[in-house]
Amino acid sequence: MKTITFSNGDQIPILGLGTWKSKPGEVYQAVLWAIEAGYRHIDCAAIYNNEKEVGKALQKAFEDGLVKREEMFITSKLWNNAHRREDVKPALKQTLMDLQLDYLDLYLIHWPISFKAGVGFAEIRKDFYTYSDVPLSQTWAAMEEVKKFGYARNIGVSNFNITKLGEILKNCTEKPEMNQVEMHPYLPQEKLVNFCKSNGIHLTAYSPLGSGDRSSQAKKPDEPILLEDKMIRVLAEKHHCSAAQILIAYSIHRDIVVIPKSVNQERIKQNLEATKIQLDEGDLEKLNSISTRHRFIDGSFFTKGQSPYKMEDLWELE
C-alpha cells in the first residue's frame, strides 16, 4: 500500500480504518476484520468513547499473531478538555492505557477549541477556556514534550485552519506532521492543502464519504448526499466499483491520507480495494469540476450560545 513519510522516516499507510461513530460492541470486530483484510492503520480519538474496545481488538490481533505492534500505525487525539500544559501528558497516558499500547504513532490536537478540565462537551461560558487562558502555543509545547518522552512518535493537529496553523508554526520547536480535516469532492480544501504542502504538513481526510451515518440532529435540512452524486456514480460505473471506492481513490490520488469508517466486513474489504483504482487525469478533472460545495461537519456545535469561539477560529470562510 502507498505510504506517506514523516520527517523521522515513519510511514503512515495512506488508507486507514476510521473509528468515529463506531459503537462499542461493533468496533472490536471491525478492527479485527480490518487487520485481517490488510489494514495497518487505525484512527482513534478519546472522545469517540471506544478506545478500550479498540485496544482489546489490537491486543487480540497481537496475541494471535495476525500482526506485530511495529507493523501497525495507530493515531489518537487529544480532547478539548486537556489543552493545558499539565493536562496533555495525563490525557495521552489514559489513551495509551485504554488502547493497551506503550506509544502512539501519531497524536493530534483534536480541535483548536479549549474546555475546562473535566468538561466533556462545553455548553455554557464557564465551561470554556479562551485563547488568552490557554494559548494554542501552550498546548503545542506540551505535545512536543510527550513526543520527546516517547509517548508519541509523531504529533500533529486536526481541524486547524491556515491562521491557527500559522500560530503553531511561529512558536514551535517541531512543526505539526499532520492536519486531519474533512475532505472530499464537495470540500476539496485547495487553499488549505496548498498551505500545508508548502509547509511540509501532511493531510488526512476524514468523512471522505460524506458522513451520512451522522444523527439527523447533526444534519442540515436538504443537505446533499455525496455518495449519490451523479458524477461520482458515472465514474463508479466506468471503473466497475462503488461510489465509496471512487471517493477513497480521490484522496489517495491527491497524496492525502484517508480514513473511511465502517463496521461492515464487506465494506471494510471494499474500501481497501479502492487502493487499486487508478483514476486518470480526466477522472480527476471531473471530480474537481463538481460544483456542489458543502461541509458536513461544520463545527457550529462549538460556536453557539455562550461559546467564546467563532467559525473563523475553525475554517477558512471562503
pTM for the predicted model, two decimal places: 0.96
318 within some domain: no
5 within some domain: no
Hey, how many other C-beta atoms are within 10 angstroms of the C-beta on 242? 19
Structural domain boundaries enclosing 28:
11-214+222-309
pLDDT given at position 21 = 83
pLDDT given at position 280 = 96
pLDDT given at position 167 = 96
pLDDT given at position 215 = 61
- Angle subtended by helix axes 243-253 and 230-239, to nearest 10: 90
Q: What is the CATH number of the domain that holds 288?
A: 3.20.20.100
How many folded domains does the chain comprise? 1
1 within some domain: no
pLDDT given at position 219 = 67
pLDDT given at position 30 = 97
196 within some domain: yes
From 48, 186, 206, 250, the catalytic residue = 48
Q: Are strands 178-182 and 155-158 parallel, antiparallel or unpaired?
A: parallel
Rounded to an integer, what distance in angstroms lies between the CA atom of residue 286 and that of residue 196?
24
125 within some domain: yes
Q: Residue positions in the annotated binding site for substrate?
A: 110
pLDDT given at position 318 = 57
For 128-163, what is each residue's pLDDT tens digit? 999 999 999 999 999 999 999 999 999 999 999 999
Q: Residue positions in the annotated binding site?
A: 110
- Residue spans of the chain under pLDDT 70: 212-219, 318
Question: Is 48 an active-site residue?
Answer: yes
